[in-house]
Amino acid sequence: MGRLEDVDLSHKLSKSEEKKQLKAAQKRLVHLRLLLGGLIGPGEIGPPLLVLFEGWDASGKGGAIKRLTERLDPRHVRVRSFSAPTYDEKRHHFLWRFWPVLPGWGGMAVLDRTWYGRVLVERVEGYAPAEAWRRAYGEIVDLEDTLAAEGMIIVKFWLHLSPQEQLRRFESRRDDPYRAWKLTDEDWRNRGKHEEYAAAVEEMIERTDTTVAPWHVIAAEDKRWARVAVVRTVCEAIEAALHARGIDPDPPLH
C-alpha cells in the first residue's frame, strides 16, 4: 500500500494529556500567528499561511480544524469548506474557485477539502475524465510551487484511520440525532470503494509531495492525538519557514 500502510495508528492520548498538550500547542500557535500578522515583534507582516485538510470521511477534519483555530481571533484566520463544485464553478478550470480564499501576506486560511478533490473523489467517481485528473497532478504542483515561490507557507494534511474505526464512527453518528446530519448516503457509498480511494490517495501523495509543500499524514485513529499533532505540525512549519527566511520566531517583545 505504501505510505498509508506504514502509518502507526496506535498513538493515543488521555483526555488530561490532550488538554495539557493542546493548550501548550495552541498558545504557541497564537504567538506565531500574531508574529506573521505583524501584530507583535518587529511589526512587519510575515508570509501567508495556507493549511489544507484532506482525509477519510469521519477522520476528524472538522474537530482538528476547530482546535487549530479556536484560540485565534476570528479576524486572523479564514476557514473555508469546499464540497462539490456548483454549475458555474464547473464552467471554469477546477482551480479557479480556490483563488479567492487564498491568504495574502500576513494572512492565514484553512481549507476543509481542497483542489485535491480532482484526483480523489472526481477520479474515483468518474466526475472528471481520466485525461483531466491525470493532468491535474502537474497543475497542482505548479500552483503550489508558484504560491511557495511567492512566499506562502503551505501545510497539507491527510488524516488517516482504519476502515474499522471509520465504521465505528459512522455507526456512532447514525445513532446520534445531533450528529446524524454528518453522515450521508455518499459517505456509505464512498466506504464501499475504499480500495479505489486508497490507491488514489497513495498516488496523490506520491506525485504531489514536494519540498515546498510536503504532505503530513496524521494518524487519526485517536482524535485527541490527531488534534494535538495537527496544531504542533502547523507551529513547526511556521517556525521552519521563519528560520529559513532569517526571521526569529521569538523576537524580543516590548
Residue 50: give its domain's CATH number.
3.40.50.300
Range of the domain at 157: 15-245
What is the strand order of the sheet 215-219 is part of?
Answer: 78-81, 108-112, 49-55, 153-160, 215-219
In a domain, 39, yes or no: yes
3-state secondary structure 194-227: HHHHHHHHHHHHHHHCCCCCCEEEEECCCHHHHH
- Quickly count: other Cβ atoms within 10 Å of residue 86's Cβ: 9
- The pLDDT tens digits for 201-235 are 999 999 999 999 999 999 999 999 999 999 999 99
Tell me the mean pLDDT in the region 52-62.
96
Examine residue 254 and state whether it is found in any structural domain, yes or no. Answer: no
Instruction: Write out pLDDT tens, residues 101-135.
Output: 999 999 999 999 999 999 999 999 999 999 999 99
Residue type, 53: F
Pair 41, 250: CB distance under 8 Å: no
User: Mean pLDDT throughout 174-199?
Assistant: 87
Residue 102 included in any domain = yes
Q: HSE of 35 in the Cβ direction (CA atoms, 13 Å)?
A: 20
Q: How confident is the model at residue 2 (pLDDT cuts 50, 70, 90)?
A: low
In a domain, 126, yes or no: yes
Residue 122 lies in a domain: yes
Q: What is the spatial distance between Cα 19 and Cα 15, in angstroms, rounded to a whole number?
A: 6
Q: How far is CA 10 from CA 5, 22, 109, 117, 221, in A?
A: 13, 19, 30, 28, 7
Residue 160 belongs to a domain = yes
Query: Would you say the C-alpha torsion 183, 187, 189, 193 has a positive or negative sign?
Result: negative
What total of structural domains would you count in the chain?
A: 1
- Above 90 in pLDDT, residue 185? no
Over the chain, what is the mean pLDDT?
94
pTM for the whole thing?
A: 0.95
96: in domain: yes
What's the N-to-C CA distance of the chain in angstroms?
Answer: 52
CB hemisphere CA count around 132 (13 angstroms): 16
Q: Does any domain span residue 215? A: yes
Cα–Cα distance measured from residue 131 to residue 128, given in angstroms and rounded to the nearest whole number: 8
Query: How confident is the model at residue 254, as a pLDDT?
Result: 65
